[in-house]
A and B are shown apart, each in its own frame.
Chain A
Amino acid sequence: MFHKSGKKYAALIFVISGLIQGLAQAMESNTTHEYKLENGLKLIVQEDHRSPVVVTQIWYKVGSSYEHEGITGLSHMLEHMMFKGTKTLKPGEFSRIIAENGGRENAFTSTDYTVYFQQLEKSRLPISFQLEADRMRNLVIADEEFLKERQVVAEERRMRTEDNPQALAYETFQATAWQTSPYRNPVIGWMADILHYEPQDMRDWYNMWYAPNNATVVVVGDVKPDEVYQLAQEYFGPLKPEKLAVLKERPEVPQRGEKRLFIQDDAKVPYLLMGYKVPSLVDSRKHPEMIPEQDIYALEVLAGVLDGGNSSRLTRNLIRGQEVAASAGAGYSMMSRLGTLFTFDGTPAQGQTIDKLEKAIRTEIEKIKKEPLDVGELERVKIGVITSDIYQRDSVYYQAMVIGMLETVGLGWPTRDEYVEKVRAVTAERVQAVAKKYLIDDHLTVAVLQPAASKKEQQLSAVTSR
């Protein structure tokens, strides 16, 4: 390994920051505009005039972490039903109209939000607004359509989770790590819950959460912000706001000791998942005295040091180096609405074991706690953050994602503009300190997926592989 002097990196960072400021000036017309309609709908418009296209995203503040036992996955199924017609549109017509206009559309649900999007040639923005405004308040959930779609959702769950050993392990891992936090439930819902939803559950859920005062509309593309605002007033303006339910606090109870679980499935390759309970940026905003903001950015940097590129520690030391892992990763999502997990996952290399892999990961964590980071290593992560900030501007979709996510979890989109500076301010000492403060065994859950195919099954699959 080579040791690089910090000075060289400092100079490089300075140069790149200059570039970013230059870029910001050059793109001055591409500023972000925020509007609020009288009915509470928030509109955020970001100009990007590189191509004659526009992306619209409607972000609703509802997702699986808003649900309770027995109705898990309801937000996700509602996402499906949003394509099934309104008072004026027949089922499927939404998609047909977007398709005829050359649009691409889809939707996704997460723990913290449900998002609908269309990408269109820029002059067709009114179509997207009209259709989205319509289904924000006028959805029709017909029994027959509902029952068919319930089967489709069950198939989706089989495809994504039941028949995918690693996904099944991940779901079980989350359900074990979290005791009272709603993050314990899968976004798609438990199968029994899916099969027992009633149409009225869905109607109630829709009426409760789908309203202008619970939505953020994000538009990025070749548009003029004031014109978009006028369009929004025209289409979304007449919608009635809803008296929104107050979400009850469901904090995770303190974890008092490491949890371990074993999952046996028809897998061929073992898989390890580890997760430490850590706060998110939202937690820090709520309790800055206990969780200083710099802790959050330091955890973000820590994830980069461990798994931020080909030179990061897990790849360098576990995949290369000791050759104990065929794959290894670390992850942290600072933008979660609730407390989250700092995760590690991996598959052992050929001839290695889960035990050895877990020990190797724990050794990497201990090293972070005991030995200060190499200056070069820290600066490399920062340069990665700065350059990614530029690369991400190549995609209007991604730009809209960042804005929508920050708004919907309650951080506000201007957080985006602080990100690079705050990452740059993270010190090596802080990274070491957050590893010591948060990556502690009492807050750890370890899940092991163990291949459990019968011998007969193994023989059969050996035949079928050729």
Chain B
Amino acid sequence: MTRKIISFLLFCFVTITHAAPDIQKWETSNGAVALFVAAPELPMVDIRVVFDAGSARDGDKWGIAALTNAVVAEGAGGMSAEQISEKFDDVGAILGSGSLRDMAFVSVRTITEKKNYDTALEGLATVITKPDFPQAAFERQKRRTLIGLQQKKQSPSAIAEEAFYKALYGDHPYAHPPSGDEESVGQITREDLVAFYNKWYTAKNATIAIVGDLTFEQAKQAAEKVIGELPSGEPAPCLPPVKDLEKEKVIRIHHPSSQTTVLIGQPGMKRGDPDYFALYVGNHSLGGSGLVSRLSNEVREKRGLSYSVYSYFLPMREKGPWMAGMQTRNEKVEEGLKVMRETIRTYIDQGQTEEEFAASVKNITGGFPLRIDNNSKIVEYLSMIGFYGLPLDYLDTFIDKIKALTVDQTREAMKRRLHPDKMVTVVVGGSVEKTLAGQ
């Protein structure tokens, strides 16, 4: 009887459309892209400023984008790191920052009470527009980065990821780790940071996203206050296109761990890729839907080989990776690898089944409200839409675009874009002989 009720519930849902947030978009006086969504329910505001200043802009100074981003709040406008941190903590504002391959961001969350809000905005503006890069703070962050690089060597998954990107991207700016390596970080100087900042932290290279209890007018003022004093500069030049892999590569690295980590993949797709929706749905039932995915079923549910197994596209400015991964006890790695590869190959050859396709579409459309159910998530979407130049109706049309797909389209797109014969496989762990290390 229980099952009857569930089936009934499954089929009786009428299509419920949910209004996506109303996005305002404009350009600041100095040329930055600005986006705003009003969220009057809570007396708080989130602001996120994103620059095209991730590690893809490192050049030969690997790690400089991350270091620059980490030092902006360590001294600015004549204030020391102590003064800056007290300024934010005094009003309960939370300053955030981070750096990936495509982008670097600085963000703040504050309550709207005038004194707190004004202080938080002023602090954010100072950090973004007037960093001093004090020599001592720079040296300290550099040493912390070096410790972080050591720590990564303790982690089989971090080692595997680094080798994976290197093999996938060759001489492309996506190839090296955003945190750089010991040698490159060791050579970076304070002057390098200043030059990097001046070049990339400019208005035309920035997107500012604002979500919170403000009017549109207030949001416009906020954007001017936070980044209005940045020089206009120029948008960053295009990154080189990512080359497809010409042949299969297998990289085996020894690590003294009880498990072996496996990563399989290839260059995937860009943000705004015409195949985005077909590939997103196409991958969903392979390894993007958690426990119910094909990979999870084969590797975890049927054989108990791995706790975590997945696949995903990571769309970036240029082609980000498609990757599948798992980790299993050393003695089972060959079996696990075989199951992974066969599952991927069969799935791409034959495409997802009608049932898998239908289930993925239901999951993605039915779960849409969860993507935008709080301010944190909306501000991330806004900065993504602005940064990658996605259409403003991206969220409004999301469900329709998924629903417009056919299973033939997802099968065709997956087959055309993924090539099991030319993928990179990285294997890291105790199952790899030490003599093979580095191969």
Interface residues of A (CB under 8 A from B): 1-2, 4, 9, 12, 15-16, 19, 22-23, 50-53, 83, 88-89, 91-92, 95-97, 99-104, 119-121, 123-124, 126-127, 130-131, 134, 147-156, 158-159, 162-166, 266-269, 308-312, 315-316, 319-320, 323, 326-327, 347, 349-351, 376, 380, 383-384, 386-388, 390-391, 393-396, 453, 456-457, 460-461, 463-466
B366 pairs with A100, CB closer than 8 A = yes
List 14 contacting pairs A-B, 8 Å CB cutoff, sorted by A. A89-B2, A92-B297, A99-B362, A102-B364, A124-B13, A155-B305, A159-B307, A163-B258, A165-B154, A269-B151, A394-B374, A460-B254, A465-B182, A466-B181
A159 pairs with B85, CB closer than 8 A = no
Chain A residues within an 8 Å CB radius of B163: 464
Provide the B81-111 mask, 1 if CB < 8 A to any CB of A, else 0: 1111110111111110000000000000111
Q: Interface with A: B4-12, B29-37, B416-424, which one?
A: B4-12
Provide the B340-377 mask, 1 if CB < 8 A to any CB of A, else 0: 00000000000000000001001111111110111110
A319 to B148 CA separation, bound complex (whole angstroms): 14
Give 20 A-B pairs besides A134-B2, A350-B146, A387-B110 with Cβ atoms closer than 8 angstroms: A2-B83, A2-B86, A19-B43, A89-B2, A92-B301, A99-B292, A104-B370, A121-B367, A151-B304, A164-B155, A310-B89, A320-B82, A349-B147, A394-B375, A396-B374, A456-B434, A460-B437, A463-B438, A464-B254, A464-B437
Residue from B81, B151, B327, B374 within 8 A of A159 (CB atoms): B327
**A465-B368 contact in complex given A19-B111, A309-B85, A311-B86, C-beta closer than 8 Å:** no
Q: Residue among A51, A97, A104, A388 with the most chain B CB within 10 A?
A: A51
Chain B residues within an 8 Å CB radius of A22: 43
User: Which residues of B, 368-397, contact A by the 8 Å Cβ criterion?
Assistant: 368-370, 372-376
Residue from B146, B162, B374 within 8 A of A50 (CB atoms): B374
A127 pairs with B151, CB closer than 8 A = no
Q: B191 at the A/B interface (Cβ < 8 Å)? A: no
CB distance from B108 to the nearest CB of A (A): 12
B2 pairs with A311, CB closer than 8 A = no
Q: B247 at the A/B interface (Cβ < 8 Å)? A: no
Chain B residues within an 8 Å CB radius of A95: 290-292
A164 to B152 CA separation, bound complex (whole angstroms): 11
A90 to B437 CA separation, bound complex (whole angstroms): 44
- Residue in B closest to A458 when the chains form the complex, CB atoms: B153
Q: B328 at the A/B interface (Cβ < 8 Å)? A: yes
Interface SS of chain A: helix
Q: B338 at the A/B interface (Cβ < 8 Å)? A: no
B85 pairs with A164, CB closer than 8 A = no
Residue from A164, A326, A386 within 8 A of B92 (CB atoms): A386
Q: B403 at the A/B interface (Cβ < 8 Å)? A: no
Residue from B89, B181, B259, B306 within 8 A of A152 (CB atoms): B306
Q: B249 at the A/B interface (Cβ < 8 Å)? A: no
A88 pairs with B292, CB closer than 8 A = no
A92 pairs with B153, CB closer than 8 A = no
B44 pairs with A390, CB closer than 8 A = yes
B373 pairs with A309, CB closer than 8 A = no
**A164-B154 contact in complex given A96-B359, A159-B308, C-beta closer than 8 Å:** yes
A245 to B256 CA separation, bound complex (whole angstroms): 44
CB distance from A429 to the nearest CB of B (A): 22
A149 to B258 CA separation, bound complex (whole angstroms): 18
Residue from B10, B85, B144, B434 within 8 A of A326 (CB atoms): B144
A266 to B429 CA separation, bound complex (whole angstroms): 13
Chain A residues within an 8 Å CB radius of B130: none
B369 pairs with A52, CB closer than 8 A = yes
**A119-B109 contact in complex given A350-B146, A388-B92, C-beta closer than 8 Å:** no
Chain A residues within an 8 Å CB radius of B366: 100-103, 121, 124
Residue from B88, B111, B256, B376 within 8 A of A395 (CB atoms): B376
B258 pairs with A158, CB closer than 8 A = yes
How many A-B contacts if CB must be within 8 Å? 272
B369 pairs with A51, CB closer than 8 A = yes
B370 pairs with A121, CB closer than 8 A = yes
CB distance from A98 to the nearest CB of B (A): 9
Chain A residues within an 8 Å CB radius of B308: 159
- Residue in B closest to A396 when the chains form the complex, CB atoms: B373
Q: B167 at the A/B interface (Cβ < 8 Å)? A: no
- Residue in B closest to A161 when the chains form the complex, CB atoms: B258
**A320-B44 contact in complex given A152-B306, A269-B151, C-beta closer than 8 Å:** no
B143 pairs with A350, CB closer than 8 A = yes
Q: B42 at the A/B interface (Cβ < 8 Å)? A: yes
A99 pairs with B92, CB closer than 8 A = no
A150 to B290 CA separation, bound complex (whole angstroms): 19
- Residue in B closest to A50 when the chains form the complex, CB atoms: B41
Q: B150 at the A/B interface (Cβ < 8 Å)? A: yes
CB distance from A176 to the nearest CB of B (A): 21
**A155-B437 contact in complex given A95-B290, A99-B292, A101-B10, C-beta closer than 8 Å:** no
Provide the B249-271 mask, 1 if CB < 8 A to any CB of A, else 0: 00001111111000000000000
Q: B320 at the A/B interface (Cβ < 8 Å)? A: no
Q: B16 at the A/B interface (Cβ < 8 Å)? A: yes
Chain A residues within an 8 Å CB radius of B63: none
B259 pairs with A155, CB closer than 8 A = yes
Residue from B6, B111, B153, B376 within 8 A of A97 (CB atoms): B6
A460 to B252 CA separation, bound complex (whole angstroms): 13
**A89-B3 contact in complex given A102-B370, A124-B13, C-beta closer than 8 Å:** yes
**A310-B291 contact in complex given A53-B373, A158-B258, A453-B256, C-beta closer than 8 Å:** no
Q: Residue among B3, B151, B303, B305 with the most chain A CB within 10 A?
A: B151
User: Which residues of B, 123-174, contact A by the 8 Å Cβ criterion?
Assistant: 137, 140, 143-144, 146-151, 153-156, 159, 162-163
Residue from B89, B146, B438 within 8 A of A309 (CB atoms): B89
A163 pairs with B257, CB closer than 8 A = yes
B92 pairs with A464, CB closer than 8 A = no
Chain B residues within an 8 Å CB radius of A97: 6, 10
Residue from B91, B327, B373 within 8 A of A383 (CB atoms): B91
Provide the B407-439 mask, 1 if CB < 8 A to any CB of A, else 0: 000000000000000000000000000100110
- Residue in A closest to B166 when the chains form the complex, CB atoms: A466
Q: Residue among B89, B94, B140, B374 with the most chain A CB within 10 A?
A: B89
A123 to B16 CA separation, bound complex (whole angstroms): 10
CB distance from B297 to the nearest CB of A (A): 7
Q: B25 at the A/B interface (Cβ < 8 Å)? A: no
Q: B225 at the A/B interface (Cβ < 8 Å)? A: no
**A130-B5 contact in complex given A2-B86, A121-B16, A315-B85, C-beta closer than 8 Å:** yes
